[in-house]
Amino acid sequence: MQVNTQMQTDETKEDRQQSQEVVDVSIIVVAWNVKDLVRDCLKSVYEQTRDISFEVIYVDNASKDGTAEMVANEFPQVRIIRNNENKGFIIANNQGIEIAKGRYVLLLNSDTIVLDNAIAKTVRFADSHPDAAVVGCRVLNPDRTLQRTCFMYPSPLNMLLSAIYLYKIFPRSRFFGRELMTWWDYNDVREVQSVCGCFSLVRNKAIDKIGYMDPTYFVYGDDPDWCYRFKKSGWKIMFTPQAEIIHYGGQTTKQKADRFYLQLHAAKLLFIKKHKNGLKFPLACFFTSLFFLTRVPYWFAVGMLDKNKKSELLKTTKTYLKGGFYSIVDWRNLLMNKEALEEEP
């Protein structure tokens, strides 16, 4: 799949063609208006990456806070792509992959901190597992508690279990906790279905075989979709606990939290629409609507009782109502880039 996007880059096409030196890993960071987070992320990359060759590609999605200028001034060795508009997380990453020189590409969220040579450790693990297309590592919250970043593919059953919340009551159950793998402590090497794209090391040879991420997703849903396509082509998706990073989470999406939340659930529906058949898609729509609507009374009641946050909580209630309605009536209205889906043949 070729990605057609207009972009401005700090290097010419001729420069890229003349520079064919292969490195171990191309680290791709995409951001939109999170200058301080990008600075901390890149600083950790350079301070905590040893024993391997690497390049960093920063893709700026039309930030207005001077992020691209900061990167150019403080990290002059970084290759920069400047977009004229926010093209979304997936297209921006595809742009980075398109010019990457690494044997691997590492998709690294801008709100992460690399710990203790994590990138080199993951590369070494991938080198010892040549059948792995994607490798994920242990991801920690800022307080160093575990952040769950391995998941099963979206399915009607997983959506039903999410809607009824029993995985919260029975987190050690392999059935109720199946989607989020809540029963697992992330302390062992394991083959999984999907790893979160906040830190995702991907073999470039595997990308050559199955193509880039599907830009229809815009943001969210790209990781299970890509992992599913790799798996169908015979590759493995692996997790290693040998490397660790910190992930703050939601630092970019909080700028439009309600739209991104609806997009998160729409991305799961898009996955099922794309990869499954029969009654699975209408069932998925129904269970997604159930998820949203069963939470409306709670958020409405809390909003009415909390006078200080009434406006904010009633806005959340409206988001859940919208999600429940559109999941049944026209799920495409939950997508942030509905037009891209309508352009699909």
H-helix or E-strand containing 225? helix 222-232
Choice among 6-10, 173-177, 217-221, 283-287 with the minimum mean pLDDT: 6-10
- pLDDT of the residue at 326: 96
Q: pLDDT band at residue 154, thresholds of 50, 70 and 90?
A: very high
Residue 132 has pLDDT above 70, yes or no: yes
Residue 316 has pLDDT above 50, yes or no: yes
Residue 150 has pLDDT above 90, yes or no: yes
Q: pLDDT band at residue 3, thresholds of 50, 70 and 90?
A: very low
Q: What is the pLDDT of residues 207-263, one digit of tens each?
A: 999 999 998 888 788 899 999 999 999 999 999 999 999 999 765 545 567 888 999
- pLDDT of the residue at 307: 86
In terms of pLDDT, which residue wins out, 268 or 259?
268
- pLDDT of the residue at 340: 54
- pLDDT of the residue at 339: 57
- pLDDT of the residue at 75: 96
Residue 98 has pLDDT above 50, yes or no: yes
Q: pLDDT band at residue 4, thresholds of 50, 70 and 90?
A: very low
Q: Does domain 8-148+186-247 have CATH number 3.30.420.40?
A: no
Residue 12 has pLDDT above 60, yes or no: no
Query: How much of the chain exceeds pLDDT 70, in percent?
Result: 90
- pLDDT of the residue at 21: 79
- pLDDT of the residue at 318: 95
Residue pair 63/32 in contact by the 8 Å Cβ criterion: yes
Residue 336 has pLDDT above 90, yes or no: no
Count of CB atoms situated within 10 Å of the CB of 182: 16
For residues 63-85, give the mean pLDDT: 94
Q: pLDDT band at residue 87, thresholds of 50, 70 and 90?
A: confident
Answer positive or negative: Cα dihedral of 91, 116, 78, 251.
positive
Residue pair 248/142 in contact by the 8 Å Cβ criterion: yes
Q: What is the mean pLDDT of the chain?
A: 89
Residue 88 has pLDDT above 50, yes or no: yes
Residue 14 has pLDDT above 50, yes or no: no
Q: How far is CA 14 from CA 17, 60, 81, 150, in A?
A: 5, 21, 15, 40
- pLDDT of the residue at 256: 66
Six-digit token string for 201: 């090391």
For residues 299-313, give the mean pLDDT: 91
Say which amino acid occupies 89. Answer: F
d(CA 248, CA 165): 24
Does the model's pTM come out above 0.85? yes
- Cα torsion through 224, 225, 229, 232, rounded to 10: 60
Residue 156 has pLDDT above 70, yes or no: yes
Residue pair 284/156 in contact by the 8 Å Cβ criterion: yes
